[in-house]
Amino acid sequence: MTQLEYKLHIDSIIERVEKARLSLSAHHIVKIVAVSKYSTSEEIKALYEIGQRAFGENRVQDLAKKSEELEDLPLEWHFIGNLQKNKINQLIKTNPFLFQSLDSLELALELDKRLEAHGVKMEALLQINSAYEETKSGVMPEAAIDIYEEIASLCKNIHLKGVMSIGAHTDEREKIKKSFEATHDIYSRLKGATICSMGMSTDFELAIACGSNMVRIGSLMFNK
């Protein structure tokens, strides 16, 4: 694919996002985070050159490596993977724009303690397992609001900006929609929340229809 063909390909994805958001509301804004976990720094740079700025990684070591290799570019890095406690200090050093996958009060308390020790703050989203799937991380929907408020109260170094979830792992559109609607319902009841991160390459249009204002698109963005 030539650079022009690649730009046209990305433009087609943006058009799909635009169509989905306009179907919801002309005032609804959606941010695209390009998930670069299977991509090289050169591929990230190629996407940057045609206008993409926000990138997501799901392994701390990859985030550290790529952000260092591309430190001359004004990229916005998001961490979207499961965070093990032994990787907390490394994540803090990478200073991500947003930690999207804060999945428990226990992790929040440990992260807050380490942030305090480093003298820094971190913006984060609470991950919700709205599909009730054992393979997914996140808090259960019925506990989400209480846990969110508890983190906001107890963890002064974590600035919660909203929620994140992964759609139900199924081909049944109604089940996926139901999981997105559950997350958005929680988001709408959270005081001061501004980000509802839902939707990936296979379901981002449905996620936007359910109220998502941040989508995490990987394979489509890098499919050259």
- Which tens digits make up the pLDDT trace of 171-193? 999 999 999 999 999 999 999 99
pLDDT of residue 100: 98
Q: How confident is the model at residue 46 (pLDDT cuts 50, 70, 90)?
A: very high
Kindly report the CATH number assigned to the domain that includes residue 17.
Answer: 3.20.20.10
Instruction: Take residue 114 and report the two structure tokens written for it.
Output: 């380490």
The domain tally of the chain equals: 1
pLDDT, the chain, mean: 96
Mean pLDDT of 49-64: 97
Q: How confident is the model at residue 149 (pLDDT cuts 50, 70, 90)?
A: very high
Using the predicted structure, report yes or no on whether residue 87 has a pLDDT greater than 80: yes
- Dihedral angle sign, alpha carbons of residues 174, 141, 60, 48: positive
Instruction: Take residue 171 and report the two structure tokens written for it.
Output: 């081909």
Using the predicted structure, report yes or no on whether residue 204 has a pLDDT greater than 60: yes
Q: Which domain holds residue 141?
A: 3-222
Query: Could you tell me the pTM of the whole model?
Result: 0.96
- Dihedral angle sign, alpha carbons of residues 187, 140, 210, 124: positive
pLDDT of residue 224: 57
- Which tens digits make up the pLDDT trace of 9-24? 999 999 999 999 999 9
Using the predicted structure, report yes or no on whether residue 133 has a pLDDT greater than 60: yes
Mean pLDDT of 111-129: 98
Distances in Å between the alpha carbon of 62 and those of 10, 35, 48, 113?
A: 24, 12, 18, 24
pLDDT of residue 121: 98
Using the predicted structure, report yes or no on whether residue 120 has a pLDDT greater than 60: yes
Using the predicted structure, report yes or no on whether residue 2 has a pLDDT greater than 90: no
Q: 152 with 123: CB under 8 angstroms?
A: no
Q: How confident is the model at residue 40 (pLDDT cuts 50, 70, 90)?
A: very high
Residues near 185 by beta carbon (within 8 Å), at least 6 away in sequence: none
